[in-house]
A = this chain, B = another copy of it.
């Protein structure tokens, strides 16, 4: 099982640097060693793996072979693993540092990220967290090419190398203006609103979800207004232009322009949209990402 591994961590690091720089000379400068050190290290690595990793273009740098490219991808995880190991050992077990990039679905981010980031940087003051916000497709892309390690999004069919872990659910609810005839009710059914004008929160996947909700009750609802801006939707409702269905609830029921909306639970038996954490299956998460995931679970699991 083990034992027949004779490469060294230094060789691996030199190769990774050279491969990413497409140049041994550049890599050598970056690593503050001589060019020949890089050259021999890469050769030895290739020899001990019995695989050619780089193609030498004589006057114009390097390029990766197919095998080299696959290897580099694995190698990056491995080197990150090595760094993690060192940090773990140094007893920096508690205080994390470095940078973590996560993805977050656009409409989710204002509700989740502030609390998550605040809590996380409180626990780990030296950790820099950065978010990529976007639609599901963009997040999937970012996960696949390694721009971010984790992404918070709604449950979706994702490409095979990705998995998800359900973190919480976002139950849909109705908002109506304060003067609305249902404003004092404890809850409402979609069918009861069939005659009211509908304001659609119009984002790629949310759109289909909200429309399917209204469709599932047998009522065919045509939106009177649409907006891809969450606050615009709320203001339209506050100003009596109709009702809307949303599934993230700000703490306050006041809109930007000072209006008010009333929040009503949906009485229809609808399935709430699961909020998941997506990441590359078969890949090891860094300690930073693990901490983020643990924090998501801790913070969001309880609020059913």
Chain B residues with CB under 8 A of A163:
165
Which of the residues B5, B67, B85, B282 comes within 8 Å of A285, measured between beta carbons? Answer: B282
User: A1-13 toward B: CB 8 Å interface, digit per residue (1/0)?
Assistant: 1101101111001
Q: Are A81 and B284 in contact (CB under 8 A)?
A: yes
Whether B51 pairs with A90 at a CB distance below 8 angstroms is: yes
Residue pair B86, A5 in contact (C-beta under 8 Å):
yes
Q: A8-B9, A282-B290 are contacts. A1–B91 as well, Cβ < 8 Å? A: no
Interfacial residues of chain A within 29-71, with CB under 8 A of chain B in the complex: 49-51, 53, 67, 70-71
Known: A9-B9, A290-B282. A86 touches B49 (CB 8 A): yes
Could you give, for residues 63-83 of chain A, a 1 whenever the CB lies within 8 Å of some chain B CB and a 0 otherwise?
000010011001101111111
How large, as a class, is the contact surface on chain A?
A: 35 or more
CB of A9 within 8 A of CB of B1, answer no
Which residues of A are interface residues toward B (Cβ below 8 A)?
Answer: 1-2, 4-5, 7-10, 13, 49-51, 53, 67, 70-71, 74-75, 77-86, 88-91, 93, 98-99, 163, 165, 282-285, 290
Contacting pair A5 B83 (CB below 8 A): yes
Tell me how far the C-beta of A166 lies from the nearest C-beta in chain B, rounded to whole angstroms. Answer: 11
- Tell whether, in the assembled complex, residue A51 and residue B5 are in contact, meaning their CB atoms are under 8 Å apart: no
Interface centre among A8, A79, A86, A89 (most CB of B within 10 A): A89
Of chain B, the residue at the smallest CB distance from A99 is B1
* A52 vs chain B, min Cβ distance (A): 10
Contacts of A165 in B (CB 8 A): 163
Interchain CB contact under 8 A, A78 and B82: yes
**Chain B residue at minimal CB-CB distance from A98:** B1
Alpha-carbon separation in the docked complex, A49 to B93 (Å): 13
Contacts of A99 in B (CB 8 A): 1
> How far, in whole Å, are A9 and B282 apart by their CA atoms in the complex?
23
**If A8-B9, A9-B5, A90-B51 touch, does A78 touch B85 (CB 8 Å cutoff)?**
yes
